[in-house]
A and B are shown apart, each in its own frame.
Chain A
C-alpha cells in the first residue's frame, strides 16, 4: 500500500544537487520522482528511486543526511479534475496533506501523485474504498 520515499537534507551550496544526482547515477539508481522543498537555509529532497536500500546507504556513506519515509502513490486520471477528485475525498475524510508532488512518467495513461498525509493508514483505506488505485513499490520501480 505504501511506497518508500527517500528524504534527503541538502545545504544551500552550489552544486550540491548535482552531487546528489551524480552519486545516485553512479550507483545505477534511477530516479522516478523528485521534489525539492527549499528554504533560505537548506533544501529537502524527496525522491522515489529504483533501489531504496542501495540509495540510502550510498547517500549516508557520502555525507548526506537521509532516510526513508512511507508515502502513498495515488493513481489519478490524467484528465481535468483528476487530482481534484482525490483531494475532495481526502478533504471530506478530514485528512491533512503534509505535501504532494507528481511522478515524472506516466503509467497506463494515469498520472501518479505522491502524497504524504497525516493519518496515512486511514487515508489509504478511504481512498481504496472510493475506488482510487494506489500503486505498489513494484509498480513504481518498474
Chain B
C-alpha cells in the first residue's frame, strides 16, 4: 500500500534529478545562513556552485554530534526564529542535549514521510494507531502522531508507560496498530501472555517499532505474543526523527530510505572513504528538504549497508539493512540515547567520588535497566551512613537529570572498576541487541 505512489515508485533518474536540485538548494541555504558551513566550505575552497552532480557531495564537509553541541542551541538553524515552530531534543554527549528546529514546512514533510512509513505497514485512514512512544522533546511520540494523523488514521496519543491502561485502551478503542519501542512492545506482549489474555479481544494487527536496535528473534517473539506483523522504523532527531527509513511489509528485509528527502552514504568509519553498496559501514545522512535545521553529511555512527537491488514492493527508494551496531559508545536505553560521557559530565566535581564509573545495562523482563557504578575516592570524607546515602542520592540525581532516565546508583570501592590499557571500561551491556 502506498501513501504517495508517484514519489515512492519514482524512476531512479527522476529521483536523482530531484535529489540534485534539492541538494544544491540546501547547500546554498546553509552556506548563506549557517556560519559553520560557510567557514568549513571556505576552508576547503568550496562555493555552493561547486556541487554539480550528486557525487560532488563527497567534497562537502561532514557534520557531527559535537557540532550540534558546540553550536547549541540555535547555531545550526538555517531559518529565522520566526519561522521555527517546533523544537525537539535528544541526548548530547555532555550535560546539554542537542536540539533540532522545524519550520511549518519541515513538519509537513515529516508527517508526509511518516505517513509513507505507515503505508509500508499497510496502515491508513481505516486504522486506529495507538502511539505508545513518549511524547515531548523526544521525537518518537509527536513524530508518529503527526504522521498517523496525516495518513488519516484515528490517533490514540497514549504516550509510553502504564501497560494496563495501554491494554484497556487497545481493547476498548479497537486499536489496530501500535507504535512504540520494540522492547516496550515485547513487555506489552508478555503481560498479555502472563494474564492469559485472549488475543481475539484485540483488533491489533500491525506494529511500527523503532528508536532502539532489535533483533529478528525479538521480532518473532513480538509477532507471536501480540498476534501482529512487526516492522522496523528508523530515524534520528538530528535529521528529523522517526520516518527517515521504514521496512515494507512485502519485503520485510531492509528499510526504505525516503531518498527524495535524505541522501545516504555508507563510509568506512575510520577513513571516511565511501564503501560500495552491500558493504557495512557508517551511515551518513544529508537532509535535502529541511529548512529549519538542514544537516549535510551527518555522521550517524550507525552501522549498516545499502541494499541497491529493487524491492518486491515496487518502491524505488533504496533500502538500508537493519542496524548492525554503533561506531561509538552510544547506548540506547528504553529508547533514550545515552553516552557514557554524559555520566562523566554529570558527576564531575562532586566531592568524595572519583571520575571513574561503569554503566551496567541489562534487560530484565524486557525493561532496560541501568546501574551506574561510581568509585569513591580512597580518602573517605564520611563516618556516617547518612552522609554516604546523601552522596549516593546526590550522584544519582545528577546523573538522572542529565540522562533523563532513572538509574540505580552504586558507590563502589576505589580502583574496583576494571581498567584496560590504563583506561577504564565504561560500559557493560548485557543485552543482546544485534543479530
Interface residues of A (CB under 8 A from B): 5, 7-11, 37, 39, 41-42, 44, 46, 60-61, 63-67, 69, 98-99, 116
Sampled A-B contacts (21; CB under 8 Å): A9-B382, A9-B388, A9-B413, A11-B410, A11-B412, A39-B385, A41-B410, A44-B383, A44-B384, A44-B388, A60-B414, A61-B378, A63-B415, A63-B416, A64-B414, A65-B380, A66-B379, A67-B380, A67-B381, A98-B384, A116-B384
Q: Is B411 at the interface (CB under 8 A from chain A)?
A: yes
Give CA–CA (A99, B415) in the complex, Å. 29
Are A65 and B377 in contact, with the CB atoms below 8 A?
yes
Residues of chain A with a CB closer than 8 A to B388's CB: 9, 42, 44
Per DSSP, chain A at the interface is strand
CB pair B385 A65 closer than 8 Å:
no
User: Taking A41-B392, A63-B413, A64-B413 as contacts, is the C-beta distance between A8 and B384 under 8 angstroms?
Assistant: no
Q: Tell me which of A10, A42, A46 contacts B383 (CB under 8 A).
A: A46
Q: CA separation between A22 and B412, bound complex, in Å?
A: 20
- Least Cβ–Cβ distance between A40 and chain B, in angstroms: 10
Chain A residues in 8 Å Cβ range of B383: 5, 7, 44, 46, 67, 69, 116
Query: Is B120 located at the chain interface by the 8 A CB criterion?
Result: no
Q: Looking across the interface, which residue of chain A has its beta carbon closest to that of B382? A: A7
Report yes or no: A37 in contact with B385, Cβ–Cβ below 8 A: yes
Complex: A11 Cα to B416 Cα, angstroms: 10
Q: Is the CB of A44 within 8 A of B413?
A: no
Q: Is B288 engaged at the interface, CB distance under 8 Å to the other chain?
A: no
CA distance A66 to B388 in the complex (A): 12
A44 to B379, CA, bound (A): 14
Q: Which residues of B contact A69 (CB under 8 A)?
A: 383
Q: From residue B61, how far is it (CB to closest CB) to chain A in Å?
A: 47
Which B residue sits closest to A61, measured CB to CB?
A: B378
A113 to B395, CA, bound (A): 34
Distance in angstroms between the alpha carbons of A66 and B381 in the assembled complex:
8
Measured in the bound complex, the distance between the Cα atoms of B382 and A37 in whole Å is 13
User: Is B399's beta carbon under 8 Å from chain A?
Assistant: no
Given A9-B376, A60-B379, the answer on whether A65 and B384 have CB atoms closer than 8 Å is no
Residue B389 at the chain A interface, CB threshold 8 Å: yes
Which residues from chain A contact B384 at a C-beta distance below 8 Å? 44, 98-99, 116
Interface residues of B, dominant DSSP: loop
* Shortest beta-carbon contacts, A-B, top 5: A7-B383, A65-B376, A60-B378, A65-B380, A69-B383
Query: Once the chains bind, are B389 and A8 in contact (CB under 8 Å)?
Result: no
A62 to chain B, nearest CB (A): 9
- Interfacial chain A residues near B380, Cβ < 8 Å: 7-9, 65-67
Cα–Cα distance between A11 and B374 once the two chains are bound (Å): 12
Contact A65 B413 (CB under 8 A): yes
List residues 48-84 of chain B with CB under 8 A from any CB of chain A. Answer: none
| A99 vs B382: C-alpha distance when bound (angstroms) | 13
Contact call A64/B385, Cβ cutoff below 8 A: no
Expressed in whole angstroms, the Cα–Cα distance for A37 and B388 within the complex equals 12
Q: How far is the CA of A37 from the CA of B389 in the complex (A)?
A: 12
Q: A44-B385, A99-B384 are in contact. List 9 more A-B contacts (CB 8 A).
A: A11-B410, A37-B385, A39-B389, A44-B383, A63-B378, A65-B377, A65-B380, A67-B382, A67-B383
Closest to A59 in B: B378
- A63→B410 CA distance, assembly (Å): 16
Residues of A near B378 (CB, < 8 A) are: 60-61, 63-66
Chain B neighbourhood of A8, CB < 8 A = 380
A63-B389 CB under 8 A given contacts A7-B383, A8-B380: no
The minimal Cβ–Cβ distance linking A2 to chain B, given in whole angstroms, is 13
| B379 partner residues in chain A, CB cutoff 8 A | 60, 65-67
Residues facing A in B402-422 (CB within 8 A) are 410-416
CB distance from B346 to the nearest CB of A (A): 20
| Nearest A-chain residue to B416, judged by Cβ | A63
Q: Shortest Cβ distance from B393 into chain A, in angstroms?
A: 11
How many Å lie between the Cα of A67 and that of B384 in the bound state?
12
- Contact indicator per residue, chain B 320-348, by CB within 8 Å of chain A (1) or not (0): 00000000000000000000000000000
In whole angstroms, what is the CA distance A60 to B413 when docked? 10
With the chains together, A8 CA to B381 CA distance in Å?
A: 10
B381, B383, B388, B392: which has the most chain A beta carbons within 10 Å?
B383
User: Shortest distance in angstroms between B286's beta carbon and chain A's nearest beta carbon?
Assistant: 48
Q: Which of B26-59 contact A (CB under 8 A)?
A: none
Contacts of B416 in A (CB 8 A): 11, 63
Distance A5 CA – B380 CA, assembled complex (angstroms):
13
Minimal beta-carbon separation of B13 from chain A (angstroms): 64
CA distance in complex: A10, B379 (Å):
13
Chain A residues lying within 8 Å of B410, measured Cβ to Cβ, are 11, 41
Contacts of B389 in A (CB 8 A): 39
What CA separation (Å) do A61 and B415 show in the bound complex?
A: 10
